[in-house]
Amino acid sequence: MLVNQLIFRGKGDKIALREKGATYSYSQLQARTDHFRNYLYARGVREKDHIALFAKNSADFIFSYMAVVSLGGVVVPLNTMLTSREIFFILKDSRVKHMITDKTLDLSGQYQDSQIPPAQ
């Protein structure tokens, strides 16, 4: 049994997550995770793929993390305070195939001229 299955098991309407006044039950967490898992699968994410997660601490980070894990993927979390040089080293070293980013991050300035290394 995967860790995400253990987390959701028997929790139902109990509160799983609070963020900025919003609460998410375990059922809602599972539904959002399942929805995003299906989205990732449709875009080619498969078991053992390394997926970079470049996002702020948020509910969306949790949904994304759990979706990748539920597919059997490997999450490569990236701290939003890293420099572009550090990020690209991690991306290359970890053989990332896909990258999930937080839509609220302003990536246009710091990373505008950067090139993501090709997946190996």
- Rg of the chain, C-alpha, whole Å: 15
Predicted model pTM: 0.81
CA-closest candidate to residue 55, choices 65, 47, 46? 65
- Could you give the CA distance from residue 109 to residue 7 in angstroms, rounded to a whole number? 38
pLDDT in tens, 18-40: 998 899 998 898 899 999 999 99
- Give the model's pLDDT for residue 120: 47
Average pLDDT, the chain: 84
Which domains are delineated in the chain? 3-101 (3.40.50.980)
- Could you give the CA distance from residue 79 to residue 63 in angstroms, rounded to a whole number? 17
pLDDT in tens, 87-105: 889 999 999 999 998 877 7
